Amino acid sequence: MYLFTRRVVVSPTHLRAGMAHAIAMTEFVNQKTDLEISLHQVLQGEPLGTLMFAYRTESFAASLESADGLVHSDEYLTKIEEGAQHFVGNAEDRLGKFQHIAGEVSGPPAAAAVVSAAIDVPQVAKAMSWSLELTEYTANLTGVPVALLTSNYGQYGTVSFVSYGQSIAQLEQSQEKTNSDPGFLQRLADSEGLFIAGSGAGVLSRKIA
């Protein structure tokens, strides 16, 4: 199972039009394909105005077949061209592979907290073992499902922990619980040497469509 995301940044001078266009494009693509795309507004960890289109798929190659139909559609391309004025720079695509899910996940989260870091490649076996154990521990501690994903594209060896929250408030409570838990803090300390220093990053988002 894979998670595909497309990151776009709305221009500060086109916030309302850009948001409306992104929501409309989400609805349009879902009508024309079977990709089941959701749209998320990033609240922390990315530039102001960042939006994420996302979908899960069993096969990225198979999902491209659905997307390719859009690329050859004049209607789709016209919508993209008309909406380009609302955004800054080019869209950025990312692909992650689900390695483990701790807890019950049935669909896109209402709110998501993502923490990512790049493995020091010689430590990949130890780092993955540590990551799997932390995923289970965190989900059991907080009651919030956590998915572990890896990526072979972009920064090689990146792992991401995705917390599937029902609300921003729930994720905030979850973070407070982990930050004060001795077992969680000890596990963070045990990760020394497994990841590239300074590669860690966190993103908080909520589903808007």
- For the segment 99-134, what is each residue's pLDDT rounded down to a tens digit? 999 999 888 999 999 999 999 999 999 999 999 999
pLDDT band at 63; cut points 50, 70, 90: confident
Q: What is the pLDDT of residue 155?
A: 82
Closest CA to 103 of 139, 74, 58, 131: 139
pLDDT tens-place string over residues 18-61? 999 999 999 999 999 888 999 999 999 999 999 999 999 998 88
Tokens found for residue 87: 């955004």
What are the φ/ψ torsions at residue 118 (nearest 5 degrees)? -100, 125
The domain made up of 2-93 is a member of CATH 3.30.70.100: yes
pLDDT exceeds 90 at position 154: no
Q: What is the pTM of this model?
A: 0.91
More confident call, 142 vs 72: 142
Comparing 2-93 with 97-207, is the CATH topology the same? Answer: yes
Q: State the residue for tokens 């701790």.
A: 102
What are the φ/ψ torsions at residue 76 (nearest 5 degrees)? -65, -50
d(CA 181, CA 34): 42
CATH of the structural domain 97-207, one choice from 3.40.718.10, 3.40.50.170, 3.40.630.30, 3.30.70.100:
3.30.70.100
What are the φ/ψ torsions at residue 20 (nearest 5 degrees)? -65, -40
| Spans of all domains in the chain | 2-93, 97-207
